[in-house]
Structure 1
Amino acid sequence: MAQISLQVTDDGSHTLFNSELNETYHSHRGAIAESRYVFIAAGFDAAIETFSEVSIFEVGFGTGLNALLTLGHFQQLNQQRQADNKPLLTVRYVSVEPYPLAQDLLHHLNYKQLLAPSYAPLFDMLHAAPWEQASELLPGFWLTKCHTRLEQIALSPQQFNLIYFDAFAPNKQPDVWRQENLAKCYQLLQAQGLLVSYCANGQFKRDLKAVGFTVKAYPGALGKREMTRAWRC
């Protein structure tokens, strides 16, 4: 049985170490910094240039860090939009996680201490939200956490315009990265929808292209050479 323990990454933020996989949940170079770069800056901020209503599908809820950063960023953007009398964003966020973490472990994570004070209640909200049902955490932001695997979840095609692909690395969980799963992701995306991942593995990018994605090179986070951005055109 896997043992899960806390580790501190280079930016001071926690990640978790899975002993069975011999793998951490985030980059040792910085959990918060990497998530902000890959999923917020290269993903969410790119998506809102095209879509005012963002539907996100996440592969790997994990510690909830990507959801937390998305929720906090959404809150800040809508506060600014409201002040500028601009239309507000809406977000529907669906995440799959086959191995939900224990609440006592989650509450030892130091994200609330490191992020702006406005993130602390958001962290509590998203982890208190029930599984298997949509919860409106903030006006216009709906979260659904699904205790299942990517290959098992039943979703209608073209529901989403952004995918956070944040599973453990291909050499640790190869089944998640199978071409069949990537084809499923392609079908879930609307036209002009975007998939982002920290992973820049060559086979991953070839498989994305094989199922129809347009893949473009993009600089990686925290000194990594590349990450992956792929579109359904």
Structure 2
Amino acid sequence: MERVSLQVTDDGSHTLFNAELNETYHSHKGAIAESRYVYIAAGFDVVIETLTELSIFEVGFGTGLNALLTLGHFQEINQQRQSDNKPPLTVRYVSIEPYPLAPDLIHRLNYQQLLAPSYAPLFDMLHTTPWEQACELLPGFWLTKCHMRLEHVVFSPQQFNLIYFDAFAPNKQPDVWCQDNLAKCYQLLQAQGMLVSYCASGQFKRDLKAVGFTVKAYPGALGKREMTRAWRE
């Protein structure tokens, strides 16, 4: 059996199945739909209500789906802002991934076929830019992909407005979800910064509160009862 293999989710989009962990990268109810709901609608769109300069830290680059949806949405918003004579958004997006996917597996993902045509070149940009370098993919959107674990992150504190916490589930990779890592995330956020995650386990929310976060219940994606949004006040 392949260690990582493709699966089709209920909205037609691909996810990946990790045989070692017996876990998929996204919800089987819809990879694109889940990512759009959790990270774009409940995260990105909330933060840009008050900011035009945004720094995002992502825990788990994976297939690049969250980054792709963020980049495409950024492009659409700035096209509208230009039409409305409003100042453009700028985004600095830093993503960590300890186990980058093989190029042949990335090329088999069907996101380009399911999303608007404008997303296709963006997907290629995300996956062909070098690791460990800040690359301007679109005017005002900078991506840095880092091949590392969260435990090894040594970024300066208080430099991000938004964290996408998208690691494998706590029962699959409990070390990633430990209090020390959550405390690190807290320190990386600026005041009023937000962390969003598909996970809504009771222990996760208790640990977030223990390291200083304010946690508020929020409806989950695709029939899930809850997801998590947490703030550094």
TM-score by length of 1: 0.99
Distance 2:40 2:124 in 1: 20
Equivalent in the alignment of 2:133: 133
Distance 1:165 1:67 in 2: 12
Aligned ranges for residues 57-136 of structure 1 at < 5 Å? 57-136=57-136
Deviation at 1:50, TM superposition (A): 2.1
Contact 1:198 1:227 (8 Å CA) reproduced: yes
Distance 2:91 2:186 in 1: 20
SS of the aligned residue for 2:162 comes to: strand
Structure 1 segments of 4 or more deviating over 3 A?
none
Distance 2:65 2:138 in 1: 17
Contact 1:2 1:20 (8 Å CA) reproduced: no
Equivalent in the alignment of 1:185: 185
Distance 2:98 2:175 in 1: 13
Distance 1:57 1:231 in 2: 14
Distance 1:148 1:190 in 2: 22
SS of the aligned residue for 1:105 comes to: helix
Runs (5+) with no aligned partner, structure 2: none
Deviation at 1:148, TM superposition (A): 0.3
Distance 1:213 1:3 in 2: 36
Equivalent in the alignment of 2:218: 218
Distance 1:50 1:213 in 2: 20
Deviation at 1:2, TM superposition (A): 6.7
The amino acid that maps onto 2:222 is: L
SS of the aligned residue for 1:208 comes to: helix
Distance 1:51 1:195 in 2: 16
SS of the aligned residue for 1:177 comes to: coil
Deviation at 1:52, TM superposition (A): 1.0
Is 1:6–2:28 an aligned residue pair?
no
Distance 1:50 1:183 in 2: 25
Equivalent in the alignment of 2:21: 21
The amino acid that maps onto 1:215 is: V
Contact 1:2 1:19 (8 Å CA) reproduced: yes
Aligned residues: 233
SS of the aligned residue for 1:151 comes to: helix
Contact 1:94 1:143 (8 Å CA) reproduced: yes
Equivalent in the alignment of 1:50: 50
Distance 2:184 2:57 in 1: 12
The amino acid that maps onto 1:88 is: P
- Over the matched positions of the two proteins, sequence identity in percent amounts to 86
Is 1:175–2:175 an aligned residue pair?
yes
The amino acid that maps onto 1:182 is: L
Runs (5+) with no aligned partner, structure 1: none
